[in-house]
C-alpha cells in the first residue's frame, strides 16, 4: 500500500510539474528562454517538484485555515453574544454536510484516471492508499486548526472539545465515504449528481447553520452522543471500505459517467448544464421567427432557446423582488420604526443596489452560453469572423440583454418609488426621479459591461474555463467595487447623479472600444 501511495504521489508530482512547465512555456518572456528540452532536465523537475509540493501543502493549509476562519468570522459578526457555542454549532453542521458532499474516494480526477486506467495500478491498494493519505493529512490539519481556533482564538472553556471534534470529524468523513459508495453501488449514480437530493440537503444544512439566530444551538451532549454514534458507524464504514475489492470497476463506471478526460471534473459538467438548452426551450413558437432572416433570425432563436437562463430567470427575480417590496411596503405602512429604517436605508445606503444589480444581472451567464452553445462553433466559420458581422451581432445581442435585464430593474425602480411615497419623511421629486434613473442605469451598465468584456477579452476555452487572467481580474474588480460600495454612505440624490454620470461616460467609451478592437479580439483561443 505504501508502494501504491508512493507511485500515486509520483504520478501526481510528474503531472503537476509537467503541467507547470507547460504553462511556463506559454508565458511571454519565458517562452523564448525555454525550449522543449526543459522536460528532460531532472534537476529542474526536482526543484519544480519540491516547490509544487510545498505550494500544494501551503494551499491546503491555507484553505483549511480559511474554512475555520470564515466560521469564526460569521460567529463574531452574526452571533457576538454566543461565539463559542455558535462556532461549535456551525462546525458540527458543516461537518455533517461534508459527509454528504465532500467525497474524496468517489471524485474523479486526472490523477486517478492516469493511475488506474492508463498506468493500470492495482485499484484496491490505490484506493486504500488514497483513503489513508487523505484521512491522515486532513486529520493532522484539522487537529492543528481545531486546537488553534478552539483553544486559542476562542479560549474554549474546556480542553475536552478538541479531541471530541477531531474524532467526530474523522468518523463522519469515514461514514460519508462508505455511504456514498454504498449508494453508488445500489443506484448506479453518485447521490449528489441528483439535484432533487442534493439541493434540499444542502439548503437544510446551510439553514441549520443559522439556527443560533433564533437561539437554537445544538447542545454539547448531543454532539457527544453524535460522536459516539459516528464512532460506531465510522468503524463499520472503515471495515467496509477495507473489504471492497472492485474499486476499479467502481472507478470505470464513475469515469464513464463524468467522462473525465473530456471535461476535467464534474464542475465543468455543472457549468455546461447551467447553459444547456432546456427541454422546454427546444420548441419555439414558429410565429416568432417566421418573418426573420439572417442574423436577426439567428439571434432571435439564440435567445428563445436560452429563455430559461435569461428571460425566465429575469422574471423569477422580478417576482421575488416584487414580493419583497410588497412586504416592505406593508411593514412601512403599518409600523413607524420600519418606516424610518426603510427611508433611512433608501436615502443613505442606495449604493447597496450596486451589489444587488451585480447579482441579478444575467450578463455573465448569458455570455457563457453565447460562447459555449454558439460562438465556439460559429467562430470557426470565416463569414462569422468578418468585422462587420461581429459588430452587427454584438449590437443585436446588446439590445436583447439590456431589454431583459431591465425587467427586474424596473421592479426595483418602481418599488423604490413606492417606498418613497409611503415614507413619513417627505421625499423630493428630484430624489424620486434620480433614484429611478440610477437603478435603470445600473442595469444597463452591467448588461453592457459583461458583453463588452466578453467581446474584448473572449476568455473561454471549449471547456468553458476562463483562460485569461485579465478577464478574471476585471470581473473580480467589478465584484470588489460592488462589494465595497455596500458600506458606502452617501445621500441618494448625490449618489444617483454620480452613478448616472459614470454610466453615461462608461457606455460610449466601452462601445467605442468594442467597435475598434472587438473584430481583432473576438476569436477562439
Using CB under 8 A as the criterion, which residues of the chain lie in contact with other proteins when the complex forms?
25, 31, 35-36, 277, 282, 289, 293-295, 297-298, 301-302, 305-306, 373-374, 376-378, 380-383, 385
Q: How far apart are CA 127 and CA 134, in angstroms?
A: 10
In angstroms, what is the minimal distance from the CB of 463 to other proteins?
14
Report CA-CA distances (Å) from 230 to 85, 168, 225, 283, 353.
Answer: 21, 7, 9, 50, 45
In angstroms, what is the minimal distance from the CB of 284 to other proteins?
9
Choice between 81 and 293, CB closer to other proteins: 293
Choice between 253 and 396, CB closer to other proteins: 396
Q: How far apart are CA 323 and CA 415, in angstroms?
A: 10
Choice between 92 and 372, CB closer to other proteins: 372
In angstroms, what is the minimal distance from the CB of 53 to other proteins?
28
In angstroms, what is the minimal distance from the CB of 407 to other proteins?
22
Choice between 177 and 308, CB closer to other proteins: 308
Choice between 133 and 298, CB closer to other proteins: 298
In angstroms, what is the minimal distance from the CB of 13 to other proteins?
25
Report CA-CA distances (Å) from 124 to 131, 179, 242.
Answer: 11, 18, 9
Choice between 188 and 382, CB closer to other proteins: 382
In angstroms, what is the minimal distance from the CB of 51 to other proteins?
24
In angstroms, what is the minimal distance from the CB of 312 to other proteins?
16
Q: How far apart are CA 386 and CA 174, in angstroms?
A: 57
Helices (H) and strands (E) in the chain, counts: 23, 0
Cell of 179: 455511504
Choice between 77 and 388, CB closer to other proteins: 388
Q: Of 460, 297, 450, nearest to 377 (Cα)?
A: 460
Choice between 318 and 373, CB closer to other proteins: 373
Cell of 192: 449528489
Lookup result for grid cell 504553462: 23
Choice between 285 and 293, CB closer to other proteins: 293
Cell of 351: 449604493
Q: Please enumerate, as own/partner, the contacts of 206-214 that have beta carbons within 8 Å and a separation of 24 or more.
A: 206/97, 208/93, 209/89, 209/90, 209/93, 209/94, 210/78, 211/89, 212/78, 212/79, 212/82, 212/85, 212/86, 212/89, 212/90, 213/78, 213/79
How many CB atoms neighbour CB 426 within 10 A?
Answer: 7
Report CA-CA distances (Å) from 337 to 332, 353, 419, 426, 441.
Answer: 8, 22, 14, 16, 31
Report CA-CA distances (Å) from 59 to 5, 104, 135, 521.
Answer: 21, 17, 17, 34
In angstroms, what is the minimal distance from the CB of 362 to other proteins?
16
In angstroms, what is the minimal distance from the CB of 30 to other proteins?
12
Amino acid at each position: 500500500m505504501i508502494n501504491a501511495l508512493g507511485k500515486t504521489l509520483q504520478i501526481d508530482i510528474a503531472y503537476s510539474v509537467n503541467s507547470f512547465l507547460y504553462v511556463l512555456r506559454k508565458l511571454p518572456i519565458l517562452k523564448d528562454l525555454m525550449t522543449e528540452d526543459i522536460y528532460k532536465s531532472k534537476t529542474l523537475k526536482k526543484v519544480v517538484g519540491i516547490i509544487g509540493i510545498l505550494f500544494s501543502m501551503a494551499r491546503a493549509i491555507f484553505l483549511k485555515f480559511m474554512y475555520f476562519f470564515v466560521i469564526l468570522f460569521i460567529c463574531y459578526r452574526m452571533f457576538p453574544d454566543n461565539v463559542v457555542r455558535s462556532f461549535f454549532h456551525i462546525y458540527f453542521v458543516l461537518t455533517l454536510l461534508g459527509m454528504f458532499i465532500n467525497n474524496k474516494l468517489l471524485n474523479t480526477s486526472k490523477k486517478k484516471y492516469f493511475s488506474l486506467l492508463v498506468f493500470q495500478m492495482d485499484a484496491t491498494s490505490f484506493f486504500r492508499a488514497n483513503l489513508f493519505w487523505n484521512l491522515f493529512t486532513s486529520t493532522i490539519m484539522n487537529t492543528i486548526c481545531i486546537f488553534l481556533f478552539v483553544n486559542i482564538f476562542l479560549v474554549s472553556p474546556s480542553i475536552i472539545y478538541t479531541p471530541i471534534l477531531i474524532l467526530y470529524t474523522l468518523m463522519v468523513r469515514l461514514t460519508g465515504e462508505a455511504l456514498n459508495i454504498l449508494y453508488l453501488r445500489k443506484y448506479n449514480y453518485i447521490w449528489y449528481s441528483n439535484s432533487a437530493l442534493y439541493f434540499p440537503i444542502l439548503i437544510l444544512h446551510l439553514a441549520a447553520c443559522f439556527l443560533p439566530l433564533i437561539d437554537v444551538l445544538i447542545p454539547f451532549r448531543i454532539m457527544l452522543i453524535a460522536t459516539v454514534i459516528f464512532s460506531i458507524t465510522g468503524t463499520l464504514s472503515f471495515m467496509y471500505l477495507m473489504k471492497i475489492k472492485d474499486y476499479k470497476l467502481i472507478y470505470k463506471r464513475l469515469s464513464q459517467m463524468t467522462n473525465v478526460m473530456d471535461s476535467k471534473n464534474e464542475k465543468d459538467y455543472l457549468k455546461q448544464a447551467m447553459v444547456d438548452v432546456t427541454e422546454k426551450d427546444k420548441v419555439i413558437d414558429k410565429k416568432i421567427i417566421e418573418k426573420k432572416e439572417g442574423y436577426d433570425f439567428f439571434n432571435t432563436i439564440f435567445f428563445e432557446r436560452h429563455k430559461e437562463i435569461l428571460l425566465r430567470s429575469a422574471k423569477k427575480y422580478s417576482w421575488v423582488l416584487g414580493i419583497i417590496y410588497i412586504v416592505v411596503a406593508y411593514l412601512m405602512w403599518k409600523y413607524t420604526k420600519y418606516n424610518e429604517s426603510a427611508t433611512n436605508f433608501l436615502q443613505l445606503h442606495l449604493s447597496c443596489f450596486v451589489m444587488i444589480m451585480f447579482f441579478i444581472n444575467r450578463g455573465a451567464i448569458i455570455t457563457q452560453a453565447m460562447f459555449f452553445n454558439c460562438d465556439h462553433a460559429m467562430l470557426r466559420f470565416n463569414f462569422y469572423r468578418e468585422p462587420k458581422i461581429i459588430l452587427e451581432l454584438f449590437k443585436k445581442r446588446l439590445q436583447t440583454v439590456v431589454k431583459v435585464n431591465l425587467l427586474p430593474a424596473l421592479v426595483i425602480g418602481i418599488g423604490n418609488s413606492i417606498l418613497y411615497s409611503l415614507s413619513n419623511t417627505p421625499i423630493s421629486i428630484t430624489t424620486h426621479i434620480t433614484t429611478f434613473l440610477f437603478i435603470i442605469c445600473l442595469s444597463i451598465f452591467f448588461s453592457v459591461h459583461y458583453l463588452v468584456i466578453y467581446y474584448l477579452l473572449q476568455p473561454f476555452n471549449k471547456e468553458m474555463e476562463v483562460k485569461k487572467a485579465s478577464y478574471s481580474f476585471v470581473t473580480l474588480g467589478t465584484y470588489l467595487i460592488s462589494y465595497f460600495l455596500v458600506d458606502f454612505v452617501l445621500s441618494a440624490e448625490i449618489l444617483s447623479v454620480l452613478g448616472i454620470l459614470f454610466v453615461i461616460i462608461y457606455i460610449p467609451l466601452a462601445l467605442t472600444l468594442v467597435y475598434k478592437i472587438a473584430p481583432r479580439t473576438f476569436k477562439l483561443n
